[in-house]
Amino acid sequence: MATDSYVDRILDSARSRLPGALDNQVLFELADVLNDFFRTSTCWRESIVVNFIAGVTDYELFTDDMPARVVSLLQVLNPDGIPVWATMISPNMLSLAVEATPGAYTINTILTVANKINNETYPRFPQWVADTYGDAIADGVVGRMAAMPAKPYSSPNHAAFYTKKFKQAAAMARASANRQNLVGGQAWQYPRFAAQK
């Protein structure tokens, strides 16, 4: 089995609370927990630049560093920084309501883990997530697996306790992401067109 140090720390934390759990089952649950965490917290965000072409209203979005699914749009900005109306009915597919002026547009997105490619052992996600939220993700794995019936690690009390901890951490991660990790501050600012000159 290939190793990945920051994922291994999460898995070791989960395994220590799941006696008799098989590695493949823990990895399977990890992928689902990560997907749940990213969709709830919306903390994995990326700005993607797309060159819009005249006459084209649908664009496939690709992330920069690693495979990921774009699950939501935060904002689409034209080259002048003005918002443009767009939707995303299916993951990674951006649709414009009307044809846009050609140019480089910035698409601010929310991401989650992609399906594993080939024989990858681990789901791929940024290391800062494991560093910041590794304990919460391990709690999510333990919560899900402790809820399984007739397993050596089954425990309704543990399932409820760790699932609650996981959900609280995901909610806190969402609040931090919305504030852009400003302590006691606010993330918004006047838009460029409204700022005084």
Q: Tens digits of per-residue pLDDT, 38-69?
A: 999 999 999 999 999 999 999 999 988 788 99
Structure tokens at 90: 């299916």
Q: Where are the beta strands (DSSP E) in 24-167?
A: 45-52, 58-60, 68-77, 86-90, 93-96, 103-113
The DSSP annotation for 72-108 comes to: EEEEEE-TTS-B--EEEEETTEEEESSPPPSEEEEEE
Interval 2-15 mean pLDDT: 82
104-151 per-position pLDDT tens digit: 999 999 999 998 777 778 888 999 999 999 999 999 999 999 999 999
Say if residue 32 is exposed, middle or buried (CB neighbours under 10 Å; 0-12, 13-18, 19+).
middle
147-180 per-position pLDDT tens digit: 999 999 999 999 999 999 999 999 999 999 988 7
Structure tokens at 23: 């590695």
What percentage of residues in the chain have a pLDDT greater than 70? Answer: 89
Structure tokens at 35: 């997907």
Per-residue pLDDT, 191: 57
For CA atoms 40, 17, 7, 69, give the dihedral sign. negative
Residue whose C-alpha is closest to residue 112's, from 95, 88, 143: 88
Domain ranges across the chain: 5-42+125-178, 45-113
